[in-house]
Amino acid sequence: LQGVKFRNFSIIAHVDHGKSTLADRILESLGAMGERDKRDQTLDTLELERERGITIKSTPVRLKYTRPESVGEGAGEEYIFNLIDTPGHVDFGYEVSRSLAACEGVLLLVDASQGVEAQTIVNAYLAIDSGLEIIPVVNKIDLPAADPEGAAQEMEEVVGIPAEDAIFASGKTGAGIPEILEAIVQRIPAPSGSADAPLKALIFDSVYDAYQGVLLFVRVLEGKVSPKDRINLFSNGKNFEVDRLGTFSPGLIVGQSLEAGEVGWIAAGIRDIQDAQVGDTITRTDFPTTEPFPGFKPAQPVVFSGLYPTDTEDYRKLREALERLKLNDAAFSFEPETSEALGFGFRCGFLGLLHAEIVQERLEREFDLDLIATAPAVIYRLTMTDGEIIETQNPAQFPTRDRMEKVEEPYIKMSVMLPEEHVGAVMQLLQERRGSMVTMNYVGKRVELIYQVPFAEILYDFHDRLKSISRGYASMDYEIIDYREGDLRKVDIYVNNEIVDALAVVVHEDKAYSLGRKIVDKMSEVIPRQMWAVPVQAAIGGKIIARATVKAYRKDVLAKCYGGDISRKKKLLNKQKKGKARMKQIGTVEVPQEAFLAVLSTE
Binding site for ligand GTP (CB under 6 A): 13, 15-21, 53-55, 88, 139-140, 142-143, 170-172
Cβ neighbours for 61, distance < 8 A, ≥ 6 positions apart: 27, 32, 35, 82, 83, 85, 248, 249, 250
Question: Minimum distance from CB of 473 to ligand GTP (Å)?
Answer: 17
Residue number, 398 or 478, with CB nearest to ligand GTP: 478
Question: Minimum distance from CB of 50 to ligand GTP (Å)?
Answer: 10
Q: What type of residue sits at position 272?
A: D
Question: Minimum distance from CB of 171 to ligand GTP (Å)?
Answer: 4
Question: Minimum distance from CB of 114 to ligand GTP (Å)?
Answer: 10
**Phi-psi sector, 3: left (phi>0), alpha (psi -120 to 50), beta:** left
Residue number, 374 or 475, with CB nearest to ligand GTP: 475
Q: What is the CA radius of gyration of the chain?
A: 27
Residue number, 20 or 305, with CB nearest to ligand GTP: 20
Q: Is 490 annotated as a binding residue?
A: no
Between CA 229 and CA 240 the distance in angstroms is 8
Whether cis (ω within 30° of 0) applies to the bond prior to 250 is yes
Residue number, 142 or 364, with CB nearest to ligand GTP: 142
Q: Is 20 annotated as a binding residue?
A: yes
Beta strands of 91-248 (E only): which ranges?
105-111, 133-139, 167-168, 200-209, 213-222, 224-225, 230-233, 239-241, 244-248
Q: Is 111 annotated as a binding residue?
A: no
Q: Is 97 annotated as a binding residue?
A: no
Using CB positions, name the residue nearest to ligand GTP: 88
Q: Let me know how many helices (H) and strands (E) the chain has, helices first.
A: 15, 33
Q: Is 17 annotated as a binding residue?
A: yes
**Secondary structure of 158-184 in HEC code, one letter for each residue:** HHCCCHHHCEECCCCCCCCHHHHHHHH
Question: Minimum distance from CB of 21 to ligand GTP (Å)?
Answer: 3
Residue number, 172 or 508, with CB nearest to ligand GTP: 172
Q: Is 139 annotated as a binding residue?
A: yes
Question: Minimum distance from CB of 450 to ligand GTP (Å)?
Answer: 23
Helices (H), 58-117: 93-101
Q: List the end-to-end C-alpha distance of the chain, in Å, as a whole number.
A: 62
Between CA 377 and CA 204 the distance in angstroms is 28
Residue number, 139 or 537, with CB nearest to ligand GTP: 139
Counted residue by residue, the chain has a size of: 603
Q: Is 508 annotated as a binding residue?
A: no
Asked if residues 356 and 332 have their Cβ atoms less than 8 Å apart, the reply is: no
Question: Minimum distance from CB of 169 to ligand GTP (Å)?
Answer: 7
Question: Dihedral, CA atoms, 221, 226, 229, 231, nearest 10 degrees?
Answer: 30
Residue number, 49 or 133, with CB nearest to ligand GTP: 49
Question: Minimum distance from CB of 541 to ligand GTP (Å)?
Answer: 44
The CB-side HSE value for 158 (13 A sphere, CA atoms) comes to 31
Phi first, then psi: give them for residue 199, nearest 5 degrees: -65, 130
Question: Minimum distance from CB of 20 to ligand GTP (Å)?
Answer: 3
List the one residue out of 186, 189, 152, 153 whose CA is nearest residue 167: 152
Residue number, 36 or 324, with CB nearest to ligand GTP: 36
Asked if residues 251 and 59 have their Cβ atoms less than 8 Å apart, the reply is: no
Question: Minimum distance from CB of 42 to ligand GTP (Å)?
Answer: 16
Residue number, 86 or 235, with CB nearest to ligand GTP: 86
List the one residue out of 427, 503, 520 whose CA is nearest residue 470: 427
Between CA 166 and CA 326 the distance in angstroms is 42
Burial of 577 (0-12, 13-18, 19+ CB in 10 A): exposed
Residue number, 144 or 237, with CB nearest to ligand GTP: 144
Q: Is 16 annotated as a binding residue?
A: yes
Asked if residues 420 and 470 have their Cβ atoms less than 8 Å apart, the reply is: no
Asked if residues 503 and 518 have their Cβ atoms less than 8 Å apart, the reply is: no
Q: Is 400 annotated as a binding residue?
A: no
Residue number, 25 or 326, with CB nearest to ligand GTP: 25
* Enclosing H/E stretch for 522: helix 512-526
SS3 label, residue 313: helix
Question: Minimum distance from CB of 167 to ligand GTP (Å)?
Answer: 13
Detail the residues annotated as belonging to a binding site.
16-21, 139-142
Detail the residues annotated as belonging to a binding site for GTP.
16-21, 139-142
